[in-house]
Structure 1
Amino acid sequence: MKPLVTGAGLGLRRDFSDEFEAVSQSCVDFMEVAPENWIPFGGKFTKQFEQYAERFPFVIHGLSLSIGGPTPMDTEFVKQVASFIKKHKIRSYSEHLSYCSDDGHLYDLMPIPFTEEAVRYVADRIKQVQDIIGMKLAMENVSYYAAPGQEMSELEFLLAVLEEADCDLLLDVNNIYVNSINHRYDAKEFLKALPKERIAYAHIAGHYDEADDLKVDTHGAEVKADVWSLLETAYQEFGVFPTLLERDFNIPPLAELFSEVAQIKAIQQKFLAKNLEGKAIA
């Protein structure tokens, strides 16, 4: 699959949306926003986003689609997203493989039961979204802390949904690490079992160490060494793919975010160089 974006990305947050001139393509190759945070607005916020969208390729990462939720899909919202995608030439639309609403918003990502019935249910809803937006939806492997009604493993469930829905994968490297500690599995083996051809792009983020055997996915800290190492394993296994730094709170100065984006770029360049060396030797 040809990448829809390339290089190293950063999530655009309103915390630094006024610092437009400080963000250059030498620092960031692509950017990401949650459509829910930008679609409802006009005026200043729309103008700011349009400025960024003229300079950077954009992907969008949704917060409220609730793909595994029990209530009917909000198709009017999906149509708004489809218009947003078309207007701003959005390269990819991703969402969480979870649910976050019932009769109202739950304000958290709840785990979908790992069952065959849930695979079919979720896949049908993904197909519904894909029909409306006219492109593949990328589903993110999420962190979870309980597995109610589990009949298959997290990996089996994820692979089954991707195949049944014929959708893309947003590979969250930190979530694999966090889940591997919390649910006691081998992060590298999980990673290596994923379908390379479905990876649209990746997320990398920080987490909180509650205990040696409990990690909490927060997106509120620097990326930890074990997660950087797992990203290197992913590049070794699949080749270099677009990777975006997530930071959702405790937002530091832009220079600190740029430093972590630069670390993504450095790792990417290392593996690209290795690939070129390998081709030259061959």
Structure 2
Amino acid sequence: MTSTIKIDPLPSLGFGLRLRTEYLDTILRDQPELDCIEIITENYLAADEAGLRQLDALCARYPVVLHGLSLAIGSPWPLDQGYLDDLKRLIDRIEPIWISDHLCWNGADDEQGQLLPLPYSEETLEHVATRIEQVQTFLGRRILLENVPVEQDNPQDIPEAEFIRQVAERSDSLILIDIGNLLSGNLGPGFSVPDYIDRLPQERVQQVHLPDISFQPTPGDDCTDTPHIIDPIWRLYTEILNRFGRVTTIIEREDTIPTLQELLCDIRKIRQAVDRHLDAG
């Protein structure tokens, strides 16, 4: 089954969080102020009807985006049609604002559980762009693809940012920048954050994953004070804001698992800091 790819510009959704199971009941009950929520796709592909009804209730209240781990867009093996069928059923049911996965060799559900980077070559570029087009045609919408951690010795005939740009343009797909993944593998000699950001096409960067940020303590720490952020992650994020504007930002917390209230407080602080930064610019 094929359908026409939706090419309308996607909206900017503001600031949101990645849903954890322990947050769900509280969010549904209290309906805290959130611009959007990111759902891990695989958590709901095999969910029972009760779980799907909870997801329906969440989608009725908030804009929801799906983030997958198992597309394996760079794999040499055929696309997993069973996975795509399940994904399309979920998409048709909840109608997420968009869907994303990783620009990598494999999925995180394989035996190694790792998102392995691709060799950045012309051959790989053609292979991946073709597979993305197949996925988008089947799903009837463009997808976002996220950068994964890349070691400095990863084969690169094409610089990473240039590879990402060409993949997006050749396949008419979109880009998700994961700041944690970018910083974890690329801070070697000669790496330039501004050059990396400038290579990415403005019209295709749709979302950012923002990892843990360190805030300078403020009196009371009750989320009412405008925060002062002292963090290299923040410096990279502001480079992204300067080029792409108010791109949809999902706050990720992987090293620590905060309470929902702590995470909501962080989101409010980041929103204040973004407003201050962009107003000053």
Which residue pairs with 2:201 in the alignment?
195
**Structure 1 residue 139 corresponds to structure 2 residue 141:** no
Offset, 1:106: 2.9
Which residue pairs with 2:21 in the alignment?
14
Counterpart contact for 2:28–2:57, Cα < 8 Å = no
Counterpart contact for 1:239–1:271, Cα < 8 Å = no
Change in 2 beyond 3 A, CA 1:260/1:232: same
Code of the aligned partner of 1:246? E
Change in 2 beyond 3 A, CA 1:252/1:4: same
Counterpart contact for 1:192–1:234, Cα < 8 Å = no
**Structure 1 residue 171 corresponds to structure 2 residue 181:** no
Offset, 1:107: 0.6
Alpha-carbon displacement from aligned partner over 1:260-281 (angstroms, at most 9, x marks no partner): 2123311332355457xxxxxx
Equivalent-residue separation in structure 2 for 1:107 and 1:53 (angstroms): 29
Matches within 5 A, 1:14-163: 14-21=21-28, 24-26=31-33, 28-100=34-106, 104-145=110-151, 147-163=153-169
Change in 2 beyond 3 A, CA 1:66/1:146: farther
Counterpart contact for 1:71–1:102, Cα < 8 Å = no
Alpha-carbon displacement from aligned partner over 1:146-200 (angstroms, at most 9, x marks no partner): 5444322212221221122111111222333333314650112211221110012
Equivalent-residue separation in structure 1 for 2:25 and 2:63 (angstroms): 18
Q: Percent identity?
A: 29
Normalised TM-score (structure 1) = 0.83
Name the Cα RMSD after superposition: 2.5
Which runs of no fewer than 5 residues in structure 1 stay unpaired? 208-222, 276-282
SS, match of residue 11 in structure 2 = coil
Equivalent-residue separation in structure 2 for 1:18 and 1:103 (angstroms): 27
SS, match of residue 246 in structure 2 = coil
Offset, 1:228: 1.3
- Of 144-153 and 74-83, more deviation after overlay is shown by 144-153
Equivalent-residue separation in structure 1 for 2:110 and 2:103 (angstroms): 18
Equivalent-residue separation in structure 2 for 1:264 and 1:230 (angstroms): 14
Which residue pairs with 1:239 in the alignment?
245
Equivalent-residue separation in structure 2 for 1:22 and 1:235 (angstroms): 33
- Of 71-80 and 12-21, more deviation after overlay is shown by 12-21
Equivalent-residue separation in structure 1 for 2:20 and 2:27 (angstroms): 11
Counterpart contact for 1:69–1:102, Cα < 8 Å = no
Which residue pairs with 1:269 in the alignment?
275
Which runs of no fewer than 5 residues in structure 2 stay unpaired? 1-7, 214-228
Aligned residues: 259
Code of the aligned partner of 1:186? S
Counterpart contact for 2:108–2:114, Cα < 8 Å = no
Counterpart contact for 2:69–2:109, Cα < 8 Å = no
